[in-house]
Structure 1
């Protein structure tokens, strides 16, 4: 399977230079449509949005799905400091600038959701509306852990990722057996088929990609950051009740950080709700973005 085979009719791809990196992105929808940037999470790449791109573009949005720095075909630095939140936010703002979009909508899942929170906090005027899935506002994480200690156990993998080299060796062993298993074991049966896993593994094999993906977690733990504070753009938070890694209470607490927001939880979905329940997710996104 090659990268081109993942593109569907009407989707295009290119590589652009932003914020000191080469960023690969896929675009769809009318060029004069309202810009909608989709930010994927760990350990995916732009293809995480394969069940959203067509539906959103078909409703008139100019959909932009980049590979985040260090993922897929986007380059990234080798050092941990290159993955601090401020750098990730600068990537998105620079991408919008390069594409000529002064204002834009944001949708983010997992790490993409964390970047979306931070982008909305740093550029409240530029973000029109934001949808965040399975990703907490960073300011509330410690408070939720204190009131829900089980979240600490669910987040134990983040501590493991801080160890130098060992996570890279463990996750890449057996042609990424543990990463493959992490997708299939934490999702509904059939969510990630053999061809899906093959596409992900192709991206994981790119030189330096696994190291870059883990550096997101290392930078978050090591680099001090100012509070994100209150989120001004209207925000929709979507969660899966059966999320293995992140309690829905994180989403509920994140809502309190929004000036205008709504929280909705799918009772049967896991962490991968965008792939498991695409119709529900797409309907929620479109209804929210079309609000005046």
Structure 2
């Protein structure tokens, strides 16, 4: 069964998020959290599959992105605030609990929720982002990871990243998608949608402020504790941004989880191998315990 995509503006944590909703109203709530430089559309291959399986799916543009609010200042994008945005979506939906699936920065928010709101989050699926403490350690101690993360440090500069992003007609963003994914993953139409999202007033600064908030106070990135709820990490080994070993090291931070590598996938595994990813997600969501 195919469900309509319902676009709504939802008040949460003092701001308004644009949220795509899909699936039966009474289904178990599943929240999909995108990362940089995407928006809700990054989950286009998962939304209908989850809805058809009976889940009520919410895919927000997270704060700073696309049609959602873009508060001023990097401090408005701290991890605990981003997590509170998601908990506010549960409140707005009238739900006590939800399952969270996150990719890239959305996965970092999912890690925070798993550690800090285990009574509200039933389980989390993590796509290609390690536990924040593992990433923080890697940025200090792993030269290979430090080289891969060069852009994080560039994003700490005020206004210049945004200016260069626009001056070169969003080429950095387009390359971040097409240049690091398997051929054919992102169509020309997909890229038009992304450029339209990046072009919205305040979007570039809002998006980059996620990085500024995390790394201006480096100690914050590791302030996510041990995980006790079920976790499944899905990881494309050919990730251009993150070393695969970080997924294995993240295993040390929870006692009820599993890890699946996709040998031929990149950072964008849920868009490169949607059928396989969806099958694993559905099995994980339906598992007991």
Q: TM-score range by the shorter chain?
A: over 0.9
The structural deviation recorded for 1:258 is 1.1
Q: Is the 8 A contact 1:120 1:231 kept in 2?
A: yes
Offset from partner CA, 1:146-192 (integer Å, 9 cap, x none): 66420110011100000111111111223212211221100000111
Q: 1:60 — aligned with what?
A: 54
Q: 1:288 — aligned with what?
A: 284
SS in structure 1 at match of 2:32? strand
SS in structure 2 at match of 1:170? helix
Query: Could you tell me the TM-score, scaled by structure 1's length?
Result: 0.95
In structure 2, which of residues 237, 254, 260 is the aligned counterpart of residue 258 of structure 1?
254
Distance across 1 between alignment mates of 2:3 and 2:94: 24
The structural deviation recorded for 1:145 is 4.7
1:184 matches 2:178: yes
In structure 2, which of residues 43, 49, 68 is the aligned counterpart of residue 49 of structure 1?
43
Q: Is the 8 A contact 1:18 1:95 kept in 2?
A: yes
Structure 2: where are the runs of 5+ without partners? Answer: none
Q: 1:111 — aligned with what?
A: 105
Matches within 5 A, 1:69-80: 69-80=63-74
Q: Is the 8 A contact 1:188 1:276 kept in 2?
A: yes
1:17 matches 2:11: yes
Distance across 1 between alignment mates of 2:158 and 2:262: 37
Q: 1:158 — aligned with what?
A: 152
Offset from partner CA, 1:40-73 (integer Å, 9 cap, x none): 0000000000000000110011011000001011
Query: Could you tell me the TM-score, scaled by structure 2's length?
Result: 0.96
Cα RMSD after superposing both structures: 1.3
Q: Is the 8 A contact 1:144 1:253 kept in 2?
A: no
Q: 1:248 — aligned with what?
A: 244
Distance across 1 between alignment mates of 2:213 and 2:236: 26
Distance across 2 between alignment mates of 1:9 and 1:27: 10
Aligned length: 285
Structure 1: where are the runs of 5+ without partners? Answer: 1-7
